[in-house]
Every structure is written in structure tokens, then in C-alpha cells.
Structure 1
Amino acid sequence: MTDVIEREIKIKLDIDPSQLVRNLEKEGFEYLGEEEQEDVYLNGTVKDFRDTDEALRIRVVNDKVELTYKSPKMGKDSKSREEITVNLDNKESMIKILEKLGYKSSYVLRKRRISFRKGNFTVCVDNVEGLGNFIEIEGIDVKESDLVSFFQDFKGKFHLNGEPITKSYLELMVNKLDNSNPN
């Protein structure tokens, strides 16, 4: 089990992601790998995570499956929250257990992620199905001010435009779906 404070900031990419990947490699960022991720978000019938700003997620990456609880957000300049993660052997069995406890699958997000490391930070170039391309910078158990400083330096160095996004991909997808469904 892992219990950490994860802080992250993302920005929508307005440049070619493959060019950014090449630039990261040229600048000495350590390549960590590329992966396809499937995130199944669950919501409770008794406790609605949309109201409490929490999340319960099952993530599948290759043959690895994990369950993560995410606390309400804590930071103002980044998306900061406590995360508790356990490894699982079987996604379907865990979903059945959670359904018996009153949780239901609410959203499924898929993304292709290319990850790099520089110091205490992981830099992810993400292509999120239905949302587009993003750069996400994450730090585990780092000060929010250090993350913001790294993000600003990174943004300047790689000539990225746009304001930081502190919403999760799930929140962005829900907002997109709500706006496309004006009932």
C-alpha cells in the first residue's frame, strides 16, 4: 500500500506532442517509458464523490491493476491530494466487490502516456481519449511552491502557452460531457 501526497499541474498542449518529446530527450530528461492506461472511476450510491471531491479509481496499465482512493483536493495552485493505492490481481473481481458495497462504475478514461523524470518531478505527455493532448507535471510529497516553480520554468523553457489546469482528467471529461448535453 502506498500513501502519498501527489501534486500535479497540467496544461493543454498547443504544440506537436512528438516535438515536445524530442525536446525533452534533448534537454536530458530521463525517459521512463510509454504506456496505455485505462482508468475506471467508481461512485457510491450512499456517498457521491462529486459532492465530496474524492475519487475511487481502478487503473489498468498493461498487466498491472491498482485501486486508488483520492482525498479531496488540498492545494490552491496545483491539484494536490492524498492518494492511497493498493495493487490488485483482478480488475473484474474488485469491481464486483465494490458493486456489492454500493459503488458503480461511472466513467472510463483511456490515455496514452509518455513519461520522463527530471529531479523530483515526473513529466507526462498525455493523449487523453476525447480530451486531446496535455503535459502533466507531478511531484510526490513535494512542496506546492516547488511544483509551481518547476512548472513555470518548464513552461518558459519549452515555450508552452495557456494557464495551468488543476482539474483532473475526470473533471475535464465530466465538464465536456455536461456541456455537450444541455438538458
Structure 2
Amino acid sequence: MASEIEVKYAVPDRTALDQALAARGIELSAPVHQDDQAYAPGAWSFGDPRVGVTFVRLRTQGGRCTFTTKTPVANVLACREYETPVADREQMHHAIIAMGYRPTVRVVKQRRTAQVGRYALCVDEIEGVGAFLEVECVADTDDMTGVQAELASWVEGLGAPVQRTGATYDEVVQVAAATA
């Protein structure tokens, strides 16, 4: 079974990151707007362990909605993932709640992407939080942390001033909201 494995970095200087990417011939796409609603099981609370717990997301991008489940395996950035298009976001929202999930946070961002070999790069500007770089790949492996080390090494090779985080976007948004 394939898994989505990623590393994530706060980006204090977008210009420096853009220059580091350009120096390697990496061109980012035009920005797209993503509106994500995250959901957690009803009995789960922020701060509880996440590994082995399935979380849900509804994402709207370009007028299309996608339903995604993510189950952290090695850590919160190494997940088994299932994804499918949804015709009606509002009806799916009610179905998710009927399945015992509750909305947690909304993550709204502008995303620019690039593909470098088997790596997908996302540079995200998250409303109310700031800029982040995600580098991910889909792999069929039990060594998820090994893949994360490979991804981290690639990012370090960029020479851009970035700060690695082990947090998900819903965690980052939750913390920002709590300190605002």
C-alpha cells in the first residue's frame, strides 16, 4: 500500500526560497486557492496521540471538492491516504459528521507547486500563519522515516533559510489561533 510521506518547513524568507529553487531550475506553478476543512474523530482532542488515528479533510480547489482520509503511521507527516472527488461538499460535510467526526480547523492557503523527479514540492502561504514548504513523495515502503530523511537531505541541499517542523497545517493553524 502506498503512503504519502512528507517533510515540512516554515519559510521566513520567501524571496530566498524562490531564488534557491530558481538556481536549480525549479519553476513553481501559478498560485491556486485551497480551502480545507479538517475533521477529527469525536473522542479525539488536540494534544492526543495521532499515530494510528484516521483524520478527514474536505478540500475545495478550483470549484472542485476532494474528500481525503489520512492515517498517520510513522508520524503525522507519514500517512496512509485515500482520496476521492466529491460532488457536493455540504452533503459530504454532513456525512462526515454522521460518521462521528467533528470539524477542527479550517486551513485556507495559496499553493504553488512543482515536480522534481518523484518529489512534489508545495510552497504554501497559509492565511494568518505564513509561508511553508512541503516536499513529499508517494512510496510503497515500511521505512517512512528513511524516506523523510531522504527528503530532508534534499531540502537541506537547497541552501534556503527554512525551519523544519513536525507539525501538520491543522496543528500550525490551531496554535496560531490560540496565541492570537
TM-score (norm 1): 0.80
More moved, 47-56 vs 35-44? 47-56
The answer to whether 1:43 aligns with 2:40 is yes
CA gap of 1:106–1:161, structure 2 versus 1, over 3 A, is: closer
Query: C-alpha distance in 2, partners of 1:174/1:125?
Result: 20
Identify the match of residue 26 of structure 2 among 29, 39, 55.
29
Q: Which amino acid aligns with 1:145?
A: G
What is the RMSD computed on CA atoms of the aligned residues?
2.5
The aligned counterpart of 2:125 is 127
Structure 1 distance, partners of 2:162, 2:28, is 23
Please say if 1:8 is aligned against 2:18. Answer: no
Q: Residues 21 and 72 from structure 1, CA distance in 2 versus in 1: closer, same or farther, beyond 3 angstroms? A: same
In the alignment, what sits opposite 2:84? 86
After superposition, give the CA deviation of every residue in 1:140-173 in whole Å (9 maximum; x if it has no partner). 11654244234223324333243x2121011122
Percent of aligned pairs with the same amino acid: 20
Q: Residue 33 of structure 1: CA displacement?
A: 4.6
Query: C-alpha distance in 1, partners of 2:148/2:64?
Result: 28
Residue deviations 1:13-49 (CA, integer Å, cap 9, x gap): 121x24533542442225455311111112333x426
1:67-82 maps to which residues of 2 (within 5 A)? 67-75=67-75, 79-82=77-80
Residue 5 of structure 1: how far off its partner (Å): 0.6
Q: 1:30 to 1:140 in 2, by over 3 A?
A: farther
Contact 2:5 2:147 in 1 (8 A): no
Query: Partner of 1:171: helix, strand, or coil?
Result: helix
Q: Tell me by how many angstroms 1:117 deviates.
A: 1.2
Aligned length: 173
Give the alignment of 1:139-158 within 5 angstroms: 139-141=137-139, 144-158=145-159
CA separation of 1:73 and 1:172: change in aligned 2, threshold 3 A: farther
Q: How does 1:88-107 map to 2 (within 5 A)?
A: 88-107=86-105
C-alpha separation between the residues in 2 aligned to 1:89 and 1:133?
Answer: 30
Q: CA deviation at 1:72?
A: 2.7
User: 1:56-67, aligned counterparts within 5 Å?
Assistant: 56-67=56-67
Alignment CA distance shift 1:161-1:108 (3 Å):
closer
Q: Is 1:30–1:116's contact at 8 Å kept on the other side of the alignment? A: yes
Task: State which drifts further: 80-89 or 143-152.
Answer: 143-152
